[in-house]
Amino acid sequence: MNKLTFLGATGQVTGSCYLLESNAKRILIDCGIFQGGKAADKQNRSRFPFNPSSIDAVVLSHAHLDHSGRLPQLYKDGFRGDLFLTEGSVRLVELLLKDAALLQLRDTEWENKRRQRSGKKLLEPLYSLEDVEALLKLRKPIAYRKPTEIFPGLSVTFHDAGHILGSAIVELKSNDGPQQKTLVFSGDLGNPHSPLLYDPEQLTEADILLLESTYGDRDHKPLDTTLDELREILIAAQDNGGNVIIPSFAVGRTQDLIYWLGKLYREGALPQQQVFLDSPMAIEASKIYDDLSHLFNDDDPEFKHIAKRKNGWQTWLPNLIYSESTEDSMAINRIVGGSIIIAGSGMCTGGRIRHHLKYNLWRRDAHVVFVGFQAQGTLGRTLIEGQKNLKILDSKIHVQATIHTLGGLSAHADQSQLLRWASVFKDPKPRLYLIHGELNASHSLRTCFHRTGWDATLPEVGQTIEF
């Protein structure tokens, strides 16, 4: 008998973590951080609800921190098993986790200065760079579509999820019982309109299906409409004389953005003379994308050819400027208009984007463009909900910039795409559990499935099922 326990990304989008017990082995599917303010910080600092040293392996769907970000913490607390991941995720997870460790250290030092002044107990970082380095030695890459026995009677197959480079739909097959049982975890399913990646692969058979529901309550705007809206924003900002600020996830969303801005440049439809990529991590991620361009789809042969070259992104978008040093980043804040500034983090929870917001949100001629999901409790969510008075980096800001949301550039599948992807599973349909969504989104998607005669369950944190 197999057991599965839901430990994260249950009733919320972030903190992906599921414990599978099969064939006397304990396997984690993902081990991600929670994102979204003080409540998420408290969750990240809480003890794991299991003994990390009892975990025999981790199967990782992809490198984004809400799926991978607590792995070094898991190692620190005793995990010594194998980390199975796709070939495309090997370098990206190293990049993201090392950056996360450095941010942990910096943010903890900053917080401890404040705590010391008020006589509060000091904090420790969740993990160190040494923990990351040790964890990375446990990586075991597996190619897409290659069934691999990770323990006797238990195999894993990764299928392309089309979300970011190396992202995977996880298929686990277990012989723990009289019949083989199959668990499929969608991971983060990509938007089929991705300019760089292949569409999510279709699977047809499973006993248990864990399906993400990030956009379970809505459909994205059509891509053509979204690109027209982006053109209009860029023209308006140029006419007004202000900057365009784009908070962006370093891995995946940034590369899509550079692609589309490059397309506009080549059409003569990019009015801004400078496009700053102000994120050392996004710059490094773009170089990794360059090196793995053989994983790109074939929709744009010209781009795919250019991407193979050294400095392919800057060849594609000639006015793209990499801002790697702190001094480079600070210099951008002296530019009052006429530029596009792409910086992390994507939900404005940290990183250089907060400095650019501090220097631009109060300007009437500035435009802030959100191109990805904003979780509850994040600064990004606060801005798109229309709050006008904020505190950023100890400065009080009255928001006068124009705030835009471009849903059509999302790297997640929307409601209709999720329903279509799941519809090909054969009868009898798998037991369906909706995860990775805020409750309203998951409830909405469940209603859609119910209309088709397919029951869907919204699991609770800590709930265990058997199959």
pLDDT in tens, 53-83: 999 999 999 999 999 999 999 999 999 999 9
Pinpoint the residues of the chain covered by CATH 3.40.50.10890: 223-409
Q: How confident is the model at residue 308 (pLDDT cuts 50, 70, 90)?
A: confident
Distances from the Cα of 207 to the Cαs of 26, 188, 204, 467, in angstroms? 19, 19, 11, 8
- Percent of the chain's residues with pLDDT above 90: 89
Both tokens assigned to 207: 């006993």
* The pLDDT of residue 453: 96
Integer Cα distance of 348 and 36 in angstroms: 10
How many CB atoms sit inside 10 A of residue 69's CB?
27
| Contact criterion met (CB below 8 Å) for 185 and 200 | no
* The pLDDT of residue 107: 81
Question: Is a pLDDT exceeding 90 seen at residue 9?
Answer: yes
Domain covering 223-409, topology = Rossmann fold (3.40.50)
Mean local confidence (pLDDT), 339-351: 92
pLDDT in tens, 161-213: 999 999 999 999 999 778 899 999 999 999 999 999 999 999 999 999 999 99
Integer Cα distance of 445 and 419 in angstroms: 8
In sequence order, which residues have a C-beta less than 8 Å from that of residue 154 and are 6 or more positions away? 22, 23, 25, 27, 172, 173, 174, 175, 176
Mean local confidence (pLDDT), 430-444: 97
pLDDT in tens, 285-294: 999 999 999 9
| Contact criterion met (CB below 8 Å) for 36 and 378 | yes
Q: Using DSSP, state whether 267 is helix, strand or coil.
A: coil
Question: Is a pLDDT exceeding 90 seen at residue 134?
Answer: yes
The CATH architecture assigned to 3-218+411-466 reads 4-Layer Sandwich (3.60)
pTM of this structure: 0.92
Question: Is a pLDDT exceeding 80 seen at residue 383?
Answer: yes
Higher-pLDDT residue of 345, 464: 464
Lowest-confidence segment of 139-143, 304-308, 442-446 by average pLDDT? 304-308
* The pLDDT of residue 94: 98
The single residue listed with the structure tokens 């238990």 is 154
* The pLDDT of residue 458: 98
Q: Specify burial of residue 143 (Cβ count, 10 A radius: 0-12, 13-18, 19+).
A: exposed
Q: How confident is the model at residue 376 (pLDDT cuts 50, 70, 90)?
A: confident
Mean local confidence (pLDDT), 152-169: 97
DSSP bridge pairs for 414: 215
Where on the phi/psi map is residue 218: left (φ > 0), alpha (ψ -120 to 50), or beta?
A: beta
Mean local confidence (pLDDT), 85-94: 97
Identity of the residue numbered 258: I
Q: How confident is the model at residue 147 (pLDDT cuts 50, 70, 90)?
A: very high
Integer Cα distance of 214 and 435 in angstroms: 8
* The pLDDT of residue 372: 87
Mean local confidence (pLDDT), 131-155: 98
* The pLDDT of residue 298: 92
Sign of CA dihedral 183, 187, 192, 194: negative
Lowest-confidence segment of 80-89, 106-115, 170-179, 308-317 by average pLDDT? 106-115
Mean local confidence (pLDDT), 46-55: 97
DSSP label of 420? H
pLDDT in tens, 394-407: 899 999 999 999 98
Integer Cα distance of 174 and 181 in angstroms: 5
* The pLDDT of residue 160: 98
Mean local confidence (pLDDT), 148-157: 97
Prior bond to 428 cis, omega within 30?
yes
Mean local confidence (pLDDT), 434-438: 97
* The pLDDT of residue 21: 98
Lowest-confidence segment of 2-6, 312-316, 370-374, 459-463 by average pLDDT? 370-374
Task: Give the chain's mean pLDDT.
Answer: 95
